[in-house]
Amino acid sequence: MGDSSEAKRVRNLLAARDAALNLNLDLSRRDVLKIAGYGSLAAFIAACGGNNTTTTTGITAKGGTMSLGSYNTDPNSKKGTQAIVDAFKAANGGTNVKLNVVDHGTFQNQISSYLQGTPEDAFTWFSGHRMRFFADKGLATPIDDVWDAVKSNYTAGFEASIKGNDGKAYAIPTDYYPWAVFYRKDVWSQHGYTVPTNWDAFKALCVKMKADGLIPIAFADKDGWPAQGTFDILNLRLNGYDFHTELLTGKQKWTDQRVTNVYKKWSEITPYYSPAFAGLTWEQGADQLLRKQAGMYLLGLFVSDEFKASGSAADLEQLDFFAFPDMGTQYDAEKALDAPIDVYMLTKKSPTLQADLGQAKAFMEFVAKGSTQVLYWQNAPGSIPTANDADTSTYPALTKKAVQIVSQAKKITQYFDRDSRPDYSGPNGMQGFLLKFLSNPKQDTTSLQGQMQAFWDSLPPE
């Protein structure tokens, strides 16, 4: 055992989070309680079993070759992936991993063609709607045998996140990160700001920051997707998890008055956004926070990668965050937030998969280990390991807090573009609509909402 009490604390948090996670599945309260029981049990077993949960079984093979398609192209995550591959080669009898790194956006855009063509054996992907879609289309290989070998290393919430609609396991979750409001501790203590817990305090803080010469809220939407994070959290706070997931899957209408309310509330904070935000990339937004020009930034934990990239450890230490403030509705209690999970999967049509299946499965087992995930996290601190046996003793305060905020959330979403269909969330869909809204937030959104619904209705059945 030999766990430090700190590690135990974080593990308990993981178990608690598990009790709350229900990852896009419509679970009844009893199901959640059941999962809570399993989850704590799994954590308990993992805690007692130590690191023996990922021993090699009969389904894996050493040596040989395998191939991996990766979309991790940011310098940090690229280094992390390479570190995993190198460690796997050393641990698995010198398996030669052919690594094919493709630009993140390109990989995502061509995923359909990629999976139907001649893909690598294994690939990096997201959990949620996007994983289940390709599993349904028969383009991913189920890995129940691997999952059975490693599942004691995971909480039930993660297990739910990698199950296809057919109940089979299709992926190994390796990391996740929460979305929250980030700020610099030194800037805040200099001006004497305190964390706002409700909407009015949040807006009052914006006014104060503006008077102090800061950009209250860094906002950067050139890429189109960052605005969806704000839509997610506002809709979750105002209308609740159930309405949000139903809206994103077409079971509710975009013309609903509740959606109008989201835009109304949103327009109350847009005056405090970065000027020229439609021309800024998220990295440039992070830079405004880093350079003490902006006071707050609603983004994923990956913003810390940008702070790490600045090369100054002092900057990273100043980074802190708080959960999006309450909006005064019944849904505040859900404490819902976006916490996307990244996974590894096996393709179906890889020409080498039959020959490399043992090695590919060994790789899937390998990435399910906490030690592997920590290796990745050391390179990309914005990605928190998912395995129970991950050594949490080296987590800095920021990561511990991130684990905590997710564990307190009663509902977790995967992010707009992972919870909805890609044709709807893409640049010519919701990304464009949100930019249109943001170009004039005070507008009457009736016609815009009509366009959103008309676009949804035009899409062919998935």
Partner 1 sequence: MANTTTRVAPARTQKAPEAGALVNRRKRRYTLLTRHDKILIALMVGIPLTLDLLLVWGPTLASVGLSFTNWQNIGPITGKNFVGFKNYQFMFSGYTLFWPAFTHNLIWLAWLTLIATPLGMFLAVLLDREMRGTRFYQSVFFLPVVLSLVVVGFIWDLQFAPTDGFINNALGTAKSSNLIDWLGNPRINLFSILIATSWRHIGYIMILYLAGLKSVDPSLREAARVDGATEVQTFFGVVLPVMAPINVIIVVITAIEALRAFDIAFITNQGKNGLELLSILIYNNSISEASLVGFGSAIAVILLLISLVPIVAFLSRVMRTLA
Span 269-308, contacts to partner 1 by CB under 8 A? 275-280, 284, 287-288
Residue 374 tokens read as 């920590």
DSSP code of residue 392: G
Q: State the nearest-atom distance from the C-beta of 72 to partner 1, in Å.
A: 17
Instruction: Choose between 404 and 451: whose C-beta lies nearer to partner 1.
Output: 451
Task: List strand residue ranges (DSSP E) for 339-425, in order.
Answer: 341-346, 384-385, 412-413
Q: From residue 145, how far is each of 142, 148, 273, 342, 450 by CA, in Å?
A: 8, 5, 49, 20, 47
Q: Which residue has the tokens 């690939």?
A: 123
Stretch that binds partner 1, among 219-227, 240-248, 303-311, 352-360 (CB under 8 A): 219-227
Question: Does 436 interact with partner 1 (rule: CB under 8 A)?
Answer: yes
Core vs surface per residue 314-343: b (16+ CB within 10 A) or e: ebbebbbbbbbbbbeeebbebbbbbbbbbb
Nearest Cα residue to 72 out of 122, 141, 117: 122
Question: Does 435 interact with partner 1 (rule: CB under 8 A)?
Answer: yes
Tell me, by CB under 8 A, how many residues bind partner 1.
41
Question: Does 84 interact with partner 1 (rule: CB under 8 A)?
Answer: no
Q: Show the site string, 235-274: x = touches partner 1 by CB under 8 A, - = not.
A: ----------------------------------------
Question: Does 109 interact with partner 1 (rule: CB under 8 A)?
Answer: yes
Q: Are 170 and 314 in contact (CB under 8 A)?
A: no
Instruction: Choose between 49 and 441: whose C-beta lies nearer to partner 1.
Output: 441
Instruction: Choose between 333 and 454: whose C-beta lies nearer to partner 1.
Output: 454
Question: Does 325 interact with partner 1 (rule: CB under 8 A)?
Answer: no
Q: Are 359 and 95 in contact (CB under 8 A)?
A: yes
Span 372-431, contacts to partner 1 by CB under 8 A? 422-423, 426-429, 431
Question: Does 110 interact with partner 1 (rule: CB under 8 A)?
Answer: yes
Q: Which residue has the tokens 């059945």?
A: 461
* Nearest 10 degrees: Cα torsion 271, 277, 281, 284: -70
Q: Which residue has the tokens 């229900």?
A: 22
Instruction: Choose between 330 and 458: whose C-beta lies nearer to partner 1.
Output: 458
Position among 56, 65, 108, 255 found at the interface with partner 1 (CB under 8 A):
108
Stretch that binds partner 1, among 105-113, 242-250, 369-377, 406-414 (CB under 8 A): 105-113
Question: Does 349 interact with partner 1 (rule: CB under 8 A)?
Answer: no
Rounded CA-CA distance 126/98 in Å is 21
Position among 32, 68, 102, 139 found at the interface with partner 1 (CB under 8 A):
139
Position among 152, 267, 371, 451 found at the interface with partner 1 (CB under 8 A):
451
Question: Does 312 interact with partner 1 (rule: CB under 8 A)?
Answer: no
Nearest Cα residue to 25 out of 138, 141, 127: 127
Rounded CA-CA distance 250/455 in Å is 11
Q: Burial of 305 by CB count in 10 Å (0-12 exposed, 13-18 middle, 19+ buried)?
A: buried
Q: State the nearest-atom distance from the C-beta of 249 to partner 1, in Å.
A: 16
Q: State the nearest-atom distance from the C-beta of 81 to partner 1, in Å.
A: 21
Q: Is the dihedral of CA 54, 55, 58, 62 positive or negative?
A: positive
Instruction: Choose between 63 and 105: whose C-beta lies nearer to partner 1.
Output: 105
Q: Is the dihedral of CA 294, 295, 300, 304 positive or negative?
A: positive
Q: What 3-state DSSP class applies to 300?
A: strand
Position among 52, 55, 354, 458 found at the interface with partner 1 (CB under 8 A):
458
Stretch that binds partner 1, among 221-229, 257-265, 341-349, 404-412 (CB under 8 A): 221-229
Question: Does 213 interact with partner 1 (rule: CB under 8 A)?
Answer: no
Instruction: Choose between 178 and 340: whose C-beta lies nearer to partner 1.
Output: 340
> Contact positions toward partner 1, by CB under 8 A?
108-113, 116, 137, 139, 221-224, 275-280, 284, 287-288, 422-423, 426-429, 431-432, 435-436, 439, 451, 454-455, 458-462
